Amino acid sequence: MEYKRSSALFAEAQKVIPGGVNSPVRAFKAVGGTPIFVKEAKGAYITDEDGKRYIEYINSWGPMILGHAHTPVIDAVIEKAQKGTSFGMPTEIETKIAELAVSMVPNIDMIRFVNSGTEACMSAVRLARGYTGKDKIIKFAGCYHGHSDAFLIQAGSGAVTFGSPNSPGVTQGTAKDTLLARFNDLENVKEIIAQNQGEIACIIIEPVAGNMGCIPPKKGFLEGLRSLCDAHEILLIFDEVMTGFRLAKGGAQELLGIHADIVCFGKVIGGGLPVGAFAARKEIMSHLAPLGPVYQAGTLSGNPLAMAAGLAMLKELNEGAVFSSLQAKTAYLHEGMKKVLTEAGVNHYINRIGSMISVHFCEAPVVDFASAAKGNNDRFKKFFHGLLERGIYIAPSAFETWFLSDALTYEDLDVTIQAVKEVAAEL
Ligand code: KE4
């Protein structure tokens, strides 16, 4: 496939931007080839700089749940931009979106807006440490909470599961306070808590993992974490940057019926502009500056332009109809892909919950990072490029989740399923 203009643009970009991208996953390193440069997008479709149109399942990694350039969001942004974009002073619209978010999400009284999911998760951990007076955190292998030092940790050696940095620049001093557990393995979490009695401030988890493909929690896993946190005075942090306002109005807390102590948001909450947030009961949030001693700040936090996009998005989602529509479309896509891949004799597993779905070329179910890592990546590369050539753009990594938008029609899904059928024959 000739991506002439994208190739030229990529060569230019690499001269002034490390790797030619502003976020590594966009560089196609996991699948090879040249990343396509997007010229414009509308609804379920993106058009690249060579004029080729794709049905796409990334949607900016989640935010475009109603489709690209969604008119009510665009209109709100244009209207707000003409009155100024950011003041560094309080504005009414911040209260409006805060009130709406608090009304939609269970178990939160207050919310603080920031500019990314990373900032939300980083701040939530600092708040948990400040609130509990304890230093250590538990995260799960394969879960991603942004690029803050405390999260760039991989399984260390030894039974105590001490973390070790998985990026230069992260110090051992930081790594020693991050303990790594296995997703869906409650016994492993119990062991780690027993080995670090009284030292753990929080457990941070993606309630539905989305960064090792889509991996739903096993029955009883989140309930078990909730009980362990209650028993050991540990705060449970749900990183709902992906699942928030996507799985349901109230996100994973609502869909799965488990209450977290702190909830992190990103992606959808900003309607496509840079917004993150973290929220909790007032008793916890009152520890945040300027109310309390835990410091957190941001020049562009709550800027009215981004708030306008987020508010327009949440208002539409608050009407509620989109979630059942998205659920049905994702189930249709799941069944269609499963049928054609099975008929082609391709060993695979499809994980799905709500409008999050991923295809794994594995010989066994994918329930954690170790099982996800056993996927046949060569087969995934062929799958990705075969679909791309047929005008279907899925996430360029087997460790990512596909995100559906409600702009997708059933005809788009049929075109996708037909493309999967054709590619399956080549796998
Ligand atoms: P950002 O800082 O990228 O806004 O959010 C970090 C983050 C936090 N928590 C979860 C569950 C996330 O999925 C993310 C970011 N997701 C990736 C996609 N896997 C963003 C894509 C990218 O890194 O470019």
Read off the pLDDT of each residue in 9-36 and give the average, rounded to a whole number: 96
Cα distance between residue 398 and residue 376, in whole Å: 9
101-147 per-position pLDDT tens digit: 999 999 999 999 999 999 999 999 999 999 999 999 999 999 999 99
Q: What average pLDDT is seen over the chain?
A: 96
**CATH of region 71-317:** 3.40.640.10
Read off the pLDDT of each residue in 11-37 and give the average, rounded to a whole number: 96
pLDDT value at residue 47: 98
**Does pLDDT of 159 surpass 50?**
no
pLDDT value at residue 93: 98
pLDDT value at residue 165: 77
Read off the pLDDT of each residue in 396-419 and give the average, rounded to a whole number: 97
Every domain of the chain with CATH number 3.40.640.10 lies at 71-317
CA of 120 to the centre of ligand 1 (A): 11
Q: pTM of this prediction? A: 0.97
Is the CB of residue 21 below 6 angstroms from any atom belonging to ligand 1?
A: no
Every domain of the chain with CATH number 3.90.1150.10 lies at 4-69+320-424
Is 121 in contact with 241 (CB distance < 8 Å)? Answer: yes
CA of 421 to the centre of ligand 1 (A): 30
Read off the pLDDT of each residue in 387-404 and give the average, rounded to a whole number: 96
Is the CB of residue 116 below 6 angstroms from any atom belonging to ligand 1?
A: yes
pLDDT value at residue 163: 66
The SS3 of residue 293 is: coil
Is 163 in contact with 178 (CB distance < 8 Å)? Answer: yes
**Top-tier CATH class for 4-69+320-424:** alpha beta
pLDDT value at residue 1: 57
331-357 per-position pLDDT tens digit: 999 999 999 999 999 999 999 999 999
For residue 243, give the ligand 1 atom closest to its CA: 11
For residue 206, give the ligand 1 atom closest to its CA: 11
Render the burial of 9-43: b for 16+ CB within 10 Å, e for the rest: bbeebeeeeeebbeeebbbbebbebbbbbeeebeb
Cα distance between residue 329 and residue 148, in whole Å: 35
Confidence of residue 423 (pLDDT cuts 50, 70, 90): very high
pLDDT value at residue 164: 73
Read off the pLDDT of each residue in 160-184 and give the average, rounded to a whole number: 85
The SS3 of residue 302 is: coil
Separation of CA 253 from chain center: 15
Angle between helical axes of 221-232 and 186-195 (0-180°, round to 10) = 20
Cα distance between residue 333 and residue 404, in whole Å: 10
Report strand pairing: 136-140 vs 38-42.
Answer: unpaired
For residue 401, give the ligand 1 atom closest to its CA: 19
Q: Which residues are catalytic?
A: 144, 239, 267
Q: Out of 17, 29, 58, 61, give the residue to mutate to test ligand 1, the one with the largest number of ligand atoms within 8 Å of its CB.
A: 61
Is the CB of residue 208 below 6 angstroms from any atom belonging to ligand 1?
A: no
pLDDT value at residue 160: 43
Is the CB of residue 132 below 6 angstroms from any atom belonging to ligand 1?
A: no
